[in-house]
Amino acid sequence: MSLCKMDFTKVKEEIKRQYYTDVDGSHTFDHIERVYNLCVLIAKTEENIDNNVLGLAALLHDIGRKYEGESRGKLNHAEKGAVLAQEFLEGYGLEKQKIDSITHCIKSHRFRNNIYQDISPQTIEAKILFDADKLDAIGAVGIGRAFLFAGKIGAKLHDPNIDINNTKEYTEEDTAYREFAVKLSKIEDKLYTKKGRKLAENRHKFMVDFFDRLNREVNGEI
């Protein structure tokens, strides 16, 4: 079956129902829709894009997220999501080449670190998905999602004196500020596309200003 013969609206609703009804508040389907829209925006500035591969990858990229949450971070949601996506797409009779392209996007969308030895995106579709997903993790939306996640796992509201070298994920010290210091503050320099990097500039500055003010407020300076 070719991608163009798939009922995209039907597939989208099935993905939403099957994979995004029992996830934490920072990874619900509204995140998926924002990432999808960012993919569309970035793709307009690039050439030779397989928009069907990109669209399906955007819709499926976090379907393994709830399993990572249940494992308290021990399972890599990108790897799990790629396996689930392959099974899902095979059920629609999609050809192997297209499935491989989509699962590569999913496998490589995760922020790279030394825990999971994440792979780097190699195709333009994978690079766009990476950038779109990371853009939704920074700026005003990113801050909101960071606090949502921190609340979900029982972290403190804030600790301006946090030593990030002596903290761990999924603990009371895994605050939104820790997420900013460990990950979000570094995203701007990790993006692949010109449009993604441009969009990241203002979002990054907003976060820096926000957490600077939060620190000062908590310290009673303003």
pLDDT surpasses 50 at 196: yes
- Whether 127 is in a domain gets the answer no
5 and 65 belong to one structural domain: yes
Which has more confidence, 77 or 212? 212
Q: Say whether both 106 and 22 belong to one domain.
A: yes
Q: What is the DSSP string of 133-169?
A: HHHTTSHHHHHHHHHHHHHHHT--S--TT--GGG--T
Q: What global pTM score does this model have?
A: 0.90
User: Does a structural domain hold residue 24?
Assistant: yes
pLDDT at 116: 42
- For 2-75, where are the alpha helices, taking DSSP H only? 8-19, 29-43, 51-60, 65-70
The per-residue pLDDT for 65 is 84
| Domain total in the chain | 2
- The per-residue pLDDT for 201 is 97
Q: Which domain holds residue 74?
A: 1-118
Lowest mean pLDDT among 145-149, 160-164, 214-218: 160-164
28: domain CATH number is 1.10.3210.10
Q: Report yes or no on 182 lying in a domain.
A: yes
Flag whether 218 is in a domain: yes
Whether residue 107 is found in the same domain as residue 153:
no
- Residue 168 within any structural domain of the chain: yes
The amino acid at 92: Y
Residues 24 and 65 in one domain: yes
Q: Which two tokens stand for residue 138?
A: 């920074």
The pLDDT tens digits for 84-132 are: 999 999 998 999 999 999 999 999 998 665 444 568 999 999 999 999 9
Which residues make Cβ contacts (< 8 Å) with residue 24, sequence separation at least 6? Answer: 65, 66, 69, 148, 149, 152
Whether the CB-CB separation of 154 and 216 falls below 8 Å is answered with: no
C-alpha 65/C-alpha 167 separation (Å) is 22
What's the pLDDT score for residue 3?
A: 58
Give the whole-angstrom CA distance, residue 172 versus residue 159.
10
* Residue-averaged pLDDT of the chain: 90
Tell me what pLDDT residue 99 has.
97
Residue-wise pLDDT tens digits, 58-74: 999 999 888 777 777 77
In this structure, the answer to whether residues 105 and 162 fall within a common structural domain is no
Instruction: Write the CATH number for 212.
Output: 1.20.58.1910
How far is residue 32's CA from residue 158's CA, in Å, rounded to a whole number? 27
Q: Are residues 10 and 74 in the same domain?
A: yes
Q: Do the domain assignments include residue 31?
A: yes
